[in-house]
């Protein structure tokens, strides 16, 4: 699959890849040997490879659902205590999805960074915002006011905590997410496969019918901020990309239409042998 798709970056995500730790130990060197950047997204419920911290193109992202009281309830057995024990000697990125419950408590994000940023094992901290599906009514969803406050908090905290590895233009992009998957550079440039490595998850990594107006995907905002940049102050990078993408899609479709499939091989039949076998089976 990897040799066919030839990705530059491969993310291995949930349930939790560390469930198949032995397979990962075999797979990671093979992927890195192909020049691919590999990202393992885990809850850190168990220890990781002793050599992982020294592998140049391997990136470990630990998903943490807020401060310890909330996280330990949602993520057990991957509790704070277990995470701290299992990341010793590693270099990991902490990723936290901001929810409506968090934003109802002033200072929540600052408290989160106060705990994680000083730790030597943490090289980066990332925040995303909770992304609902169309029609959802969930307590995790942010109100427009909470979304605005989350953006303001991140802009302020990035100055105090350099490990909050989110440029200002990326954070500001949360205020105007892409309107649809067809308008999202991240959705257009990635392919998400289920565990069977065949089933495609569409229209983006969230699947289903994501509410793009409330999108909180940090990767989407990162590429959207690049797309919004204007070359020479005139032409947006995103405009060039989308035009190029459409041309590439048309050429790919054209190649598929004109692709000649290998004809099925017809094996020669030994008629005498078939007749002999038929006579033997006859009563």
DSSP 74: H
Q: In sequence order, what are the beta bridge partners of 41? A: 61
Distance CA 72, CA 95 (A): 15
Question: Quick one: pLDDT at residue 1?
Answer: 79
Give dist(CA 198, CA 193) in Å, integer. Answer: 6
Look at residue 243 in the predicted model and tell me its pLDDT.
Answer: 67
Residue 102 CB partners (closer than 8 Å, separation 6+): 66, 70, 108, 109
Cα 144–Cα 171–Cα 131 angle in degrees, nearest 5 = 50
Residues 6+ apart with CB under 8 A from 52: 28, 58, 60, 90
Q: SS3 for 122?
A: strand
In this predicted structure, what is the pLDDT of residue 264? 43
150's CB contacts (< 8 A; 6+ apart) are 98, 103, 109, 127, 129, 142, 174
Q: For residue 139, give every residue at least 6 positions away whose Cβ sits within 8 Å of its Cβ, in sequence order, or none.
A: 99, 100, 101
List, in sequence order, every residue forming a beta bridge with 215; answer none if it has no partner.
none
pLDDT at 226: 84
CA-nearest of 80, 96, 226 to 161 is 96
pTM for the model: 0.82
pLDDT tens string, the chain, 283 residues long: the values are 788 888 999 999 988 999 999 999 999 999 999 999 999 999 999 999 999 999 999 999 999 999 999 999 999 999 999 999 999 999 999 999 999 999 999 999 999 999 999 999 999 999 999 999 999 999 999 999 999 999 999 999 999 999 999 999 999 999 999 999 999 999 999 999 998 888 999 999 999 999 999 999 999 999 998 877 666 676 666 666 666 656 666 665 666 566 545 544 444 445 554 455 445 444 4
**What is the three-class DSSP state of 92?**
strand
> CA distances (Å), 171 to each of 66, 180, 203, 263, in order?
19, 19, 23, 54
């Amino acid at each position: 699959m990897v040799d066919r798709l030839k990705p530059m970056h491969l993310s291995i995500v949930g349930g939790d890849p560390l469930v198949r730790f032995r397979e990962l130990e075999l797979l990671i060197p093979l992927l890195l040997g192909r020049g691919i950047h590999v990202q393992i997204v885990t809850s850190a419920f168990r220890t990781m490879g002793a050599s992982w911290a020294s592998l140049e193109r391997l990136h470990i992202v630990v998903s943490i659902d807020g401060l310890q009281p909330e996280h330990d309830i949602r993520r057990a057995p991957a509790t704070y205590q277990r995470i701290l024990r299992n990341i010793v000697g590693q270099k990991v990125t902490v990723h936290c999805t901001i929810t409506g419950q968090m934003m109802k408590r002033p200072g929540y994000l600052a408290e989160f960074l106060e705990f994680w940023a000083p730790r030597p094992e943490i090289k980066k901290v990332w925040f995303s915002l909770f992304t609902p599906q169309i029609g959802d009514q969930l307590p995790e969803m942010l109100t427009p006011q909470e979304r605005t406050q989350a953006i303001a908090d991140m802009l302020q905290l990035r100055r105090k905590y350099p490990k909050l590895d989110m440029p200002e233009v990326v954070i500001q992009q949360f205020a105007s997410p892409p309107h649809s998957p067809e308008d999202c550079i991240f959705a257009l440039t990635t392919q998400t496969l289920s565990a069977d490595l065949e089933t495609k998850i569409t229209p983006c990594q969230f699947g289903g019918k994501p509410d793009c107006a409330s999108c909180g995907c940090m990767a989407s905002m990162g590429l959207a901020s690049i797309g919004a940049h204007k070359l020479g102050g005139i032409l947006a990078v995103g405009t060039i990309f989308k035009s190029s993408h459409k041309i590439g899609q048309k050429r790919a479709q054209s190649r598929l239409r004109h692709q000649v499939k290998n004809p099925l091989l017809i094996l020669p039949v030994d008629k005498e042998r078939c007749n002999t076998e038929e006579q033997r089976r006859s009563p």
